[in-house]
Structure 1
Amino acid sequence: MKIAMLAPIAWRTPPRHYGPWELVTSMLTEALVARGIDVTLFATRDSITTAKLDAVVPAPYSEDPSVDAKVWEFRHLANLFGQAGRFDLIHNQADFPAHAFAGLVDTPIVTTIHGFSSDRILPMYVPFQDCVHYVAISAADRHPALCYAATIHHGIPFDTFRFNAEGSDDLLFFGRIHPDKGAREAIAATRASGRSLDLYGIVQDQGYYEREIAPEVDGALIRYHGAIGGEARLRALGSARALLHLINFDEPFGLSVIEAMASGTPVIATRRGSMPELIEHGVTGFLVDNPGEVHAAIERVSEIDRAVVRQVVADRFTIDHMADAYIGLYRQILGR
């Protein structure tokens, strides 16, 4: 089985810090290679992989302003689809632009839909659903206008995340600094609880950061650390009392939720999007609907068994689970 894996080019694959689509693409690619599958990764030139790397894009456009996103995205696509006949299947992780080529090649295409920015993008999905196999990353993110080949949750490298049985009294926010992700709500909940909060993540909305977040950061009770990776990231995910994930949008998945849980950290999340699929209320965390419920959940976190939180991830959200599901789908499509 020869697979062409099409990565996005906003960030390196795998990303240095932020880049969830690129991270999932990398994790799946490496798992497939480990199973003996012949994978060619189409990504930026600085990408790192054990697969064959076929790259024409000089650098990620979010890191190098000299790289024009539109120009290089289509150069990236042209590079893959110009040699589509070499592959048994193309796995598209890079959103809808690839669909423009779907009717021009005979190679089957799988598109993992990492989330809908809005219904305005449906014209690049609906007309192609008879020739592209769509995968939803959660049941909550299935759009009623589309047909899907499968729902496959993301998996993480479980053994990378160390179990922290104790945590601490401090709370954690881990994600983009953007109104959607609820950093302001996390700060308000933390202050109401009388505890401390550590915030990690890139600033994606500078105005929001300057208006709502920066004035609250005092370096004592509310601490902002920016984006982190490596050992510091692992420590941060495991050393909190709970992750506050008080989102203001219907999040299609939420890798940080699973990563925190893999470290033993319970999650307190708004009952929106995929959160009821990822979090078992009262077992791995709490689902909340209003600020009063957030406060009560923070106080009840000590009722959660952190070992159980980690075990749920081992049972449901590993790379092996994700890779096995995709391989099953590939074989189904190819009639093997």
Structure 2
Amino acid sequence: MTQNAPLRIAMLAPIAWRTPPHHYGPWELSTSVLTEALVARGVDVTLFATLDSATAGTLAGVVPRPYNDAPGIDAKVWEMRHVAHVMEQADAFDIIHNQADFVPLAFSRMIRTPIVTTLHGMPSERILPMLEEYQHDVDYVAISATDRSPVLRYAATIPHGIVVEAFPFGATPVRELLFFGRIHPDKGTAVAIAVAHAAGIPLHIAGIVQDERYFEEEVRPHIDGVTVRYSGALGGTERLSALGSAMALLHLIDFEEPFGLSVVEALACGTPVIAFRRGSMPDIVRDGVTGFVVDTPEQAVAAIDRVAGIDRHACRADVITRFSADRMAADYHALYGEMLARRAPKRRAMLAASR
């Protein structure tokens, strides 16, 4: 990078879904939001993603379509081609920002360009050996304060951001609760149904079915179109309407969730959140201010009775302050500068030795 030239970033997206996704795809969504916010700040970003992706920056790639949308795309084969395509051009960039998990780490010692990796979740025991091996070669970023492994070193904690302006404020909610997310035991769909029934409030469910057995046995039997209705995976205006019209979002998860984009999106629409005290939920939901953080289904039912006392304007204001796309981009932009500053003495020494 020459003086006064824009920073050149290679943004490496996952290829499970399009960037941005049409509906589900949290990693791809956060990658897209960051890319567009960086471009708006004057950063020269090349987005390496599936070729049906869209960006205001430069789109590059070799993967025709996401492997979740195209049965002919072998995930392992095309992921390797995708990552290699970026690494073969590494010298053209100041920094490679890896959003695509652990595979790119294997290239870090083969190139001169520094790599920063956003860890989108607490690493499993199977993946941890890879992250431990390369943690002194690659800068890691955690996405919430609670999602930091004690055995890894992190360069920063940078929560995800959203384009708040894209989420209309819902001032007049209907008498209905919302479950928004993948239908899976981890997400607590059946618990949300039980809590809504106990409170006597209808429940709207929206999201992809990720566990067919769970859906058929514990969710579908309760769908009657009145007390429980299911809308599938929502996108566009229907998604925004669902997030903004509910009296509260039920996020009664059964795992240590690293972030929770749907929680932030609901809050941006002014919808309070009732969440179990798991993972990043205490980091995101301000108990008694933007919703309630609870420990049991009974406490969740009690919280529904109090949700009318939550100021919906306060929910949106908190997202603007803490979870905006511009805040996220500013944090990453600063980190990029720190990374390059750390490497500057080493680079000067290498140039001097080559003369």
TM-score with structure 1 length normalisation?
0.99
Show the counterpart of 1:12.
Answer: 18
The answer to whether the aligner puts 1:23 opposite 2:29 as a matched pair is yes
Query: Which stretch shows the higher mean deviation, 188-197 or 110-119?
Result: 110-119
Q: Alpha-carbon deviations, 1:306-328, whole Å to 9, x = none?
A: 11111111111100110000000
> 2:204 pairs with 187, 198, 210, which one?
198
What do the CA deviations read for 1:53-97 (whole angstroms, capped 9, x no partner)? Answer: 111001100010110000000000110001111110000000001
2:15/2:50 contact within 8 Å kept: yes
Counterpart residue identity of residue 5, structure 1: M
| Poorly superposed stretches of 4+, deviation over 4 Å | none
Query: What are the Cα deviations for residues 102-159 of structure 1, in whole angstroms up to 9, with x where unaligned?
Result: 1111100000000135221101100101010000000110000100000001010001
User: Of the candidates 192, 203, 214, which is equivalent to residue 208 of structure 1?
Assistant: 214
Counterpart residue number, 2:111? 105
Please say if 1:256 is aligned against 2:284: no
Aligned letter for 2:326? D
Task: Name the SS of the counterpart of 1:310 in structure 2.
Answer: helix
1:225 to 231, 236, 239: 231
1:196 and 1:287 mapped to 2: Cα distance?
21
Match of 2:280 among 274, 277, 299: 274
Deviations 1:175-221 (A, max 9, x none): 00011001000000000011100000000111111111111111111
| 1:236-267 deviations in Å (ceiling 9; x for gaps) | 00100100000000000000000000000000
Return the match for 1:300 from 285, 299, 306: 306
Q: Aligned partners of 1:164, 1:85: CA distance in 2, in Å?
A: 47
Structure 2 SS opposite 1:4? strand
Which letter maps to 1:116?
Answer: M
Structure 1 residue aligned with 2:145: 139
Structure 1: gaps spanning 5 or more residues: none
- The 1-side partners of 2:172 and 2:124 are apart by 41
Q: Distance in 2 between matches of 1:118 and 1:200?
A: 28
CA contact under 8 A between 2:273 and 2:291: conserved in structure 1? yes
Contact preservation (8 Å) 2:206, 2:233: yes
Q: Which residue of 2 aligns with 1:182?
A: 188
State the 1:41 CA deviation: 0.6
CA distance in 2, matches of 1:108, 1:316: 28
Q: Greater Rg, structure 1 or structure 2?
A: 2
2:118/2:142 contact within 8 Å kept: yes
- Equivalents in 2 of 1:197, 1:281: separation in Å? 22
Alignment partners' CA distance in 1, 2:197 and 2:9: 50
Residue equivalent to 1:234: 240
Q: Does 1:48 align with 2:54?
A: yes
Task: Give the whole-Å Cα distance in 1 for the aligned partners of 2:298 and 2:266.
Answer: 23
CA contact (8 A) 2:250 2:274 kept: yes
Q: Residue in 2 aligned with 1:34? A: 40
User: Given residue 277 of structure 2, which amino acid in structure 1 is its aligned partner?
Assistant: R
Contact 2:97 2:117 in 1 (8 A): yes
Asked if 1:309 corresponds to 2:315, the answer is: yes
Distance 1:274 1:229 in 2: 25
Identity of aligned residues (%): 61
| CA distance in structure 2 between the aligned counterparts of 1:50 and 1:300, rounded to whole angstroms | 43
The aligned amino acid for 1:42 is: F
Distance 1:254 1:126 in 2: 25
Structure 1 CA distance, aligned partners of 2:12 and 2:94? Answer: 14
3-state secondary structure, aligned to 2:62: strand
Question: Aligned partners of 1:70, 1:141: CA distance in 2, in Å?
Answer: 27
User: Does residue 285 of the first structure (1) align with residue 321 of the second (2)?
Assistant: no
Tell me which amino acid in the other structure corresponds to 1:322. M
Unpaired runs of at least 5, structure 2: 1-6, 345-355
> For residue 171 of structure 1, what is the aligned residue in structure 2?
177
TM-score of the superposed pair, with normalisation by structure 2:
0.94
Per the alignment, residue 128 of structure 1 pairs with 134
**Aligned alpha-carbon RMSD (Å):** 0.8
Q: Please tell me the residue identity of whatever aligns with 1:38.
A: D
Q: How many residues align?
A: 336
